[in-house]
Amino acid sequence: MIRKNKNFCPIRILGGLALLIGFALMMEDVSAQCVMCKAVAEDSADDGGLGAGLNRGILYLMAVPYILLSALFFVIYKKRKSAS
């Protein structure tokens, strides 16, 4: 016997597929921006201005997810340790 899912919505699937296709089409534009940023950073790295700031910004953006995940795992560890 086949059960029909009452929550099935083909619009969600089509919307997700359209979103995925849209992201795939924009991928070339995004990769072009990386080249432009690299060129600007290389040109200004000798001056220590924009290139140094760009590097610090990248490190800051990279560190935030690690800090948040570490805090989350620490809280989970404390809760499990206090429960046992």
Segment 3-19 shows an average pLDDT of 77
**With 0-12 CB in 10 A as exposed, 13-18 as middle and 19+ as buried, what is 4?**
exposed
Q: What is the pLDDT of residues 21-77, one digit of tens each?
A: 888 877 766 566 667 777 777 776 666 666 677 777 888 888 999 999 999 999 999
**Whole-angstrom distance, CA of residue 67 vs CA of residue 63:** 6
Q: Which of 31, 33, 51 is nearest to 41 (CA)?
A: 51
